[in-house]
Amino acid sequence: MPSIRCSALACALLVAAPPSLAAGAEPVLPPSQAYQTRDSWRQPVPPFRIAERTWYIGTAGLSALLVKTEAGAVLIDGGMPQAADMLLRRMADLGVAPGELKLILHSHAHADHAGPLAAVQRATGARLLSNAESAVLLARGGSNDLHFGDGMLYPVPRVDRLLMDGEVVELGGMRFTVHFTPAHTPGSMSWTWEDNSTDETRTGQRGGKPLRIAYVDSVSAPGYELIENPRYPRIVDDYRRGFAAVRALPCDLLLTPHPDASGWAPADPAASHPSPMTCDAYAERAERALDAQIEKQREARR
């Protein structure tokens, strides 16, 4: 692979990602020829059950969720563009044929989460749901990003339905509510649904208590210009609005696009969730980090 310069976003990815897994795991997915990420973002891990109908099928460092219903399956996020074939294999492993994937939901339109959606969409015929802000960036394949320019591009998916804040998407008796949480991108979306808890991994039993799951988008501002940003003048106001929305979510179990951000460790099947976090704590930590980042930028201007 030829030497490439680390873009602002690629550098942020390299810093944020955890180290790669030990030898003996599945091979790491191939790197991009255009930008660099840590191996762990492309490191497959065995799928594991989150709740009765909800499965983790992503990599060690990037989440992808599969929810199985009586009328087909729902994919939420996908990871890097290289993950498409892995996702299809994981679905097959869990008994979901390509044509049984009916809906694709997502968090935000960056390459590390929306990267494989176009390929999965072509392979399955699933419908992709988004909002107006994210649909614009998806249609550009990540180009002309507000903060990263053309630093990380990906294949363009087709958006089949635009959603409004608070809208409910139903499939096979499962109800997914979208919440606009613009604390990472203007189009950031978080999703909530109710499943049943399960301790199947320990006792073989299923069908536990109702569990309100919140898949909450990223709430960071990696390298963002937060003061007098000419392309995004009200960026801080949007972040405050996003934090408030996250705090108000029904949230028995928190999952995030970067699993380690909410205490998950997908690479460890024996302890995949060693440090549970609440939605309130997730938002509180992010708001403190944003305040510190704003103050640092103010100091730099003095």
**Where in the sequence numbering do the catalytic residues fall?**
108, 110, 112-113, 184, 224, 258
Sign (positive/negative) of CA torsion 218, 57, 67, 208?
negative
Q: Give the span between the Cα atoms of 96 and 77, in whole angstroms.
A: 17
3-state secondary structure the chain: CCCCCCCHHHHHHHHHCCCCCCCCCCCCCCCCCCCCCCHHHHCECCCEECCCCEEECCECCCCCEEEEECCEEEEECCECHHHHHHHHHHHHHCCCCHHHEEEEECCCCCHHHHCCHHHHHHHHCCEEEECHHHHHHHHCCCCCECCCECCCCCCCCCEEEECCCCCEEEECCEEEEEEECCCCCCCCEEEEEEEECCCHHHHCCCCCCEEEEEECCCCCCCCCCCCCCCCCCCHHHHHHHHHHHHHCCCCCEEECCCHHHHCCCCCCCCCCCCCCCCHHHHHHHHHHHHHHHHHHHHHHHC
Reported residue count of the chain is 302
Residue with tokens 């009328």: 71
What is the CB neighbour count within 10 angstroms for residue 22?
7
Q: For strands 127-130 and 101-105, give the pairing.
A: parallel
